[in-house]
Chains A and B, each alone.
Chain A
């Protein structure tokens, strides 16, 4: 019979198990026996029976259908309730007898279960610890105790044989490699080891200054007004978050009322403040500058002053050059137009124009020898009679071959043929305007030219045709004070610069194509790249704007390299150069490469500052002009000279 479960769990002693023998009380009533053996009874938990009897019938567990109330009633009413336990092996209730209860109580007290057992009996040694003169046994020693063992000999000879054959190495060299190893040997030294590496020390507290002293120097003490101002300030805006106070001695200093508050705030600061390592990017400022080529790699460009053209007696306002590059024409405030030989600075001709010459323009057509000159209210078309005789003869013939149309046409200007006296000076035609003129410019083909009148009406810009002696006013409305106009070198476009905008008109369709925002306050001059897709504008607020017409209506680049107002800008016809002249007396030459590849933006590099003109009346350079074939630039200045830089 297996021991009662509560006992086996309570004490594993063998002797106890033998002593406690539970006799089932209900054995005569019902033959409930455990037929399954000492197995975990949980296996039968979900079944109504435990095991089978001899007949193969199920041995059922006693029916337990008492609810809590029944249990309680039984607990109250049954006097033996306290000594009733359930036998898990059979599932039946057993009432413990008095002896069993006593045994339980003894065991609970830690006493031996058997009442009669005396644990303190005197012990009797079976063998004495004392050595006696007579042995316990008198048996003689075995033979095997003094004869070497054969089995051992066999084993040894086997080992010896194995050593001889080299199967066993008797003195194996000791492995010296340390048994420990570097745990972090394969660790990446750069890897961030979590919080240890990312540790950011807490910000240090500011050390107290003089104003925190109990007896600060008087300059740290706030005056009445300062105190008032301090009180009116927002607490966050205050420079000091306390008012410095003075005490007679340290003993008189009261307890600091905000101490706990401040400690609390400090703690808040320390743990609430999100601290993060600032990833400072170490960038060399040099790398941020875009890579520009060195100026000396961009040769050729003008570098030194080569020639000075002396002759004018007042400021030289305007320049123009013959298409061949042999002759230069300049107009001045002294009322003359001078023609120069470029390579020797020789004044070949002087033409008294009878007024301030505001603008000159040599006809860009190489087969026509004609110069347009703006003098006060008229444009003079002058044949300078320089260069090929055939050419200037042909030009005269061309002008003479004009036949007036039969019906009179209404024109905004008057075309007058020059008198004989004027003809002798070279003047061929006079186009009289109603107001003073500002600028004249030729179309690339050399037949049309445009003139700008200083006026505020819609009559500011006029386009003239030389061969038909016909003028027209292209604009119905005035869009502002026109500064300068320009013909596109290839396409039928016409550029009109007002104070702040450049308007691009299509002359064929007679419509506005584009309006360029210059980002300048007052445009002074304008020049177009010979390719026709790029424009530069100089302005009186010392800016130079480069427009890429394909890119945007805003400047592609705005150069502010001049110190004073720009008076003039120019492009070179062949070399990738442009220049600007300014009131600060310098001409700045820039490399302006325009690529055929539409994806590549133009490359602009200032390459040279050319000095030479003396400042006169706060004016420096008034006009700049490039030689048509050589990388040379001309500049005319207020010091009544023209200079050539090569």
Chain B
């Protein structure tokens, strides 16, 4: 038995003493404690009162090694607001309000500036990476998505295709797991699915009769590509899209709904209804949950397979502004990060929904995008023109019980 007033540090000391007794060369480790899958964040007795756990029973406290705080690594300066970020093992791709997309090395060295859009770049995505050439996508407010080929050795980019068809700014793109298709969501309430395979042919496009030919020529950059399918059903702007698997697309919209679509047939499969505008949605294949950030302070977790409409599993509340961006950890089924208009990036564990694990308060202005790579790199960009990188050691080894 332990004193009821003990906190995590006291418990941690206790465990360390026990471990040191068994193992002579034990080093001090800080632990975190879970009671029925909830992190202990206050004195034991208060927690048990809040969770209605009787003090008469034997309470099982699980201990795990405390997650290390994310270590700041780089701060990459941009010329303008950073609208989007996606990183791979080697490079970071950012979309910027100065109408360009940029490629950076992990060390923060600017490698390439991809210029070609006539308006703000709203989203970027990697399609394919080889040692020689990479394919990448950039979506912009100028209503197009550009498919670029980046020759790594020569360090040159070339616009392969100009995906035209949206009638509003393209706010979000997502590449499917086969890396042959991508989906885009736009302000014009449509989702469009495109092929991501570069070809030499140009798709025919119906010309608007009153459109001056001359003007069109100047806009053209790369071969025109038309969508494979158009998914319409949202009544407001689509703010975020993603692929759940090879056949299923998920979209979040300003009309307060998250919709799941069948990418093959283009049918609407189900709708999750919230009561606020959704800014961002993310899906974790590990825990099979959707997390959404909306224009209130909450991050909500959804079960996309649930049939009965809106089922919020959990609300994570600590932000004080709109949650602009959320991203699940690719390696850990309980963790996600979120960026908000209150200038703070928060690292969450779903087992502690009242308080985040860590607050990353480096930004001086609105946070607009966050990303989490498989290598354990946390990225966040915002309206202060800075992209912050954090190294987060993925200590998934839960010891003891």
Q: Do A and B bind each other?
A: yes
Q: Give chain A's interface residues, CB within 8 Å of chain B.
A: 299-300, 306-307, 324, 326, 343-346, 348, 387-390, 393-394, 397, 629-630, 646
Q: Which residues of chain B from 190 to 228 have a CB within 8 Å of any chain A CB? A: 208, 210-212, 215
Q: Are A629 and B295 in contact (CB under 8 A)?
A: no
Q: Given that A388-B188, A629-B254 are contacting pairs, would A346 and B97 also be in contact in the complex, using a CB cutoff of 8 Å?
A: yes
Whole-angstrom distance between the Cβ of A159 and the nearest chain B Cβ: 86
B316 at the interface (CB under 8 A from A): no
> Among A307, A346, A388, A397, which residue has its beta carbon within 8 angstroms of that of B341?
A307
Most chain B CB within a 10 A radius of its CB, from A344, A348, A393: A344
> Among B187, B254, B279, B383, which residue has its beta carbon within 8 angstroms of that of A630?
B254
Whole-angstrom distance between the Cβ of B94 and the nearest chain A Cβ: 16
| B262-279 near A? 1/0 per residue, CB < 8 Å | 000000000000010101
Q: Given that A306-B322, A646-B295 are contacting pairs, would A389 and B142 also be in contact in the complex, using a CB cutoff of 8 Å?
A: yes
Q: Are B254 and A387 in contact (CB under 8 A)?
A: no
B237 at the interface (CB under 8 A from A): yes
| B322-348 near A? 1/0 per residue, CB < 8 Å | 100000000000000000010000000
Q: Give 16 pairs: A residue, B residue, CB < 8 Å, sorted on A.
A: A299-B275, A300-B275, A306-B322, A324-B237, A344-B366, A345-B366, A345-B383, A387-B169, A388-B168, A389-B143, A390-B211, A394-B210, A397-B210, A630-B254, A646-B296, A646-B322
Whole-angstrom distance between the Cβ of B154 and the nearest chain A Cβ: 33
B81 at the interface (CB under 8 A from A): yes
B127 at the interface (CB under 8 A from A): no
Q: Given that A326-B169, A326-B237, A389-B143 are contacting pairs, would A306 and B81 also be in contact in the complex, using a CB cutoff of 8 Å?
A: no
Residue of A nearest to B81 (CB): A346
B173 at the interface (CB under 8 A from A): no
Most chain B CB within a 10 A radius of its CB, from A306, A343, A387, A393: A343
Please, which residues of chain A bring their CB within 8 A of the CB of B368? 344
Please, which residues of chain A bring their CB within 8 A of the CB of B279? 343
Please, which residues of chain A bring their CB within 8 A of the CB of B286? none
B32 at the interface (CB under 8 A from A): no
Q: Which 10 A-B pairs have the closest CB atoms?
A: A388-B167, A646-B295, A306-B322, A326-B187, A629-B236, A388-B168, A630-B277, A389-B143, A397-B210, A390-B208
Q: Are A387 and B215 in contact (CB under 8 A)?
A: no
For chain B, the count of residues having a C-beta within 8 Å of the partner chain is 29
Residue of B nearest to A398 (CB): B210
B321 at the interface (CB under 8 A from A): yes
Please, which residues of chain A bring their CB within 8 A of the CB of B97? 346
Please, which residues of chain A bring their CB within 8 A of the CB of B143? 388-389
Q: Are B295 and A324 in contact (CB under 8 A)?
A: no
Please, which residues of chain A bring their CB within 8 A of the CB of B169? 326, 387
Residue of A nearest to B382 (CB): A344
Residue of B nearest to A306 (CB): B322
Q: Given that A344-B383, A346-B81, A646-B296 are contacting pairs, would A393 and B211 also be in contact in the complex, using a CB cutoff of 8 Å?
A: yes
Docked Cα-Cα span, A474 to B274, in Å, equals 49
Q: Are A387 and B168 in contact (CB under 8 A)?
A: yes
Whole-angstrom distance between the Cβ of A240 and the nearest chain B Cβ: 69
Residue of B nearest to A388 (CB): B167
Most chain B CB within a 10 A radius of its CB, from A326, A394, A397: A326
Task: Identify 6 new A-B residue pairs, CB closer than 8 A, beyond the known A306-B321, A397-B210, A646-B296.
Answer: A344-B366, A388-B167, A390-B208, A393-B212, A630-B277, A630-B295
Please, which residues of chain B bring their CB within 8 A of the CB of A299? 275
Whole-angstrom distance between the Cβ of B226 and the nearest chain A Cβ: 16
Docked Cα-Cα span, A344 to B237, in Å, equals 14
Docked Cα-Cα span, A387 to B254, in Å, equals 17
Residue of A nearest to B368 (CB): A344
Q: Are B341 and A306 in contact (CB under 8 A)?
A: yes
Please, which residues of chain A bring their CB within 8 A of the CB of B142? 389
Most chain A CB within a 10 A radius of its CB, from B168, B188, B215: B168
Q: Are A306 and B187 in contact (CB under 8 A)?
A: no
Please, which residues of chain B bring their CB within 8 A of the CB of A629? 236, 254
Docked Cα-Cα span, A326 to B186, in Å, equals 12
Q: Which residues of chain B from 156 to 182 have a CB within 8 Å of any chain A CB? A: 167-169
Docked Cα-Cα span, A390 to B144, in Å, equals 13
Residue of B nearest to A326 (CB): B187
Docked Cα-Cα span, A326 to B171, in Å, equals 12
Whole-angstrom distance between the Cβ of A115 and the nearest chain B Cβ: 129
Whole-angstrom distance between the Cβ of B309 and the nearest chain A Cβ: 18
Residue of A nearest to B144 (CB): A389
Please, which residues of chain B bring their CB within 8 A of the CB of A324? 168, 187, 237
Residue of A nearest to B342 (CB): A306
Whole-angstrom distance between the Cβ of A386 and the nearest chain B Cβ: 9
Docked Cα-Cα span, A346 to B80, in Å, equals 11
Docked Cα-Cα span, A397 to B254, in Å, equals 31
Whole-angstrom distance between the Cβ of A383 and the nearest chain B Cβ: 14
Please, which residues of chain B bring their CB within 8 A of the CB of A393? 211-212, 215
Please, which residues of chain A bring their CB within 8 A of the CB of B167? 388, 390
Please, which residues of chain A bring their CB within 8 A of the CB of B383? 344-346
Please, which residues of chain B bring their CB within 8 A of the CB of A646? 277, 295-296, 322
Whole-angstrom distance between the Cβ of A304 and the nearest chain B Cβ: 8
Whole-angstrom distance between the Cβ of A295 and the nearest chain B Cβ: 16
Docked Cα-Cα span, A393 to B120, in Å, equals 19
Docked Cα-Cα span, A343 to B167, in Å, equals 18
Q: Which residues of chain B from 86 to 139 have a CB within 8 Å of any chain A CB? A: 97, 120
| B13-44 near A? 1/0 per residue, CB < 8 Å | 00000000000000000000000000000000
Docked Cα-Cα span, A306 to B188, in Å, equals 24
Whole-angstrom distance between the Cβ of B217 and the nearest chain A Cβ: 14
Please, which residues of chain B bring their CB within 8 A of the CB of A348? 120
Please, which residues of chain B bring their CB within 8 A of the CB of A344? 81, 366, 368, 383
Please, which residues of chain A bring their CB within 8 A of the CB of B120? 346, 348
Docked Cα-Cα span, A168 to B203, in Å, equals 127
Docked Cα-Cα span, A360 to B94, in Å, equals 35
Whole-angstrom distance between the Cβ of B44 and the nearest chain A Cβ: 35
Please, which residues of chain B bring their CB within 8 A of the CB of A388? 143, 167-168, 188
Docked Cα-Cα span, A113 to B322, in Å, equals 137
Residue of B nearest to A646 (CB): B295
Please, which residues of chain B bring their CB within 8 A of the CB of A343? 279
Whole-angstrom distance between the Cβ of A348 and the nearest chain B Cβ: 8
Docked Cα-Cα span, A184 to B102, in Å, equals 102
Docked Cα-Cα span, A320 to B238, in Å, equals 23
Please, which residues of chain A bring their CB within 8 A of the CB of B212? 393
Whole-angstrom distance between the Cβ of B232 and the nearest chain A Cβ: 16
Docked Cα-Cα span, A330 to B168, in Å, equals 22
Residue of B nearest to A397 (CB): B210
Docked Cα-Cα span, A570 to B167, in Å, equals 30
Please, which residues of chain B bring their CB within 8 A of the CB of A397? 210
Residue of A nearest to B83 (CB): A344
Docked Cα-Cα span, A646 to B120, in Å, equals 25
Docked Cα-Cα span, A449 to B210, in Å, equals 26
Please, which residues of chain A bring their CB within 8 A of the CB of B215? 393
Please, which residues of chain B bring their CB within 8 A of the CB of A326? 168-169, 187, 237
| B258-301 near A? 1/0 per residue, CB < 8 Å | 00000000000000000101010000000000000001100000
Whole-angstrom distance between the Cβ of A82 and the nearest chain B Cβ: 126
Residue of B nearest to A386 (CB): B141
Whole-angstrom distance between the Cβ of A499 and the nearest chain B Cβ: 40
Docked Cα-Cα span, A324 to B168, in Å, equals 10
Please, which residues of chain A bring their CB within 8 A of the CB of B275? 299-300
Docked Cα-Cα span, A344 to B80, in Å, equals 13
Whole-angstrom distance between the Cβ of B368 and the nearest chain A Cβ: 7
Docked Cα-Cα span, A48 to B368, in Å, equals 139
| B348-376 near A? 1/0 per residue, CB < 8 Å | 00000000000000000010100000000
Docked Cα-Cα span, A388 to B97, in Å, equals 18
| B58-76 near A? 1/0 per residue, CB < 8 Å | 0000000000000000000
Please, which residues of chain A bring their CB within 8 A of the CB of B295? 306, 630, 646
Residue of B nearest to A310 (CB): B365
Please, which residues of chain B bring their CB within 8 A of the CB of A346? 81, 97, 120, 383
Whole-angstrom distance between the Cβ of B87 and the nearest chain A Cβ: 22
Docked Cα-Cα span, A598 to B209, in Å, equals 48
Residue of B nearest to A348 (CB): B120
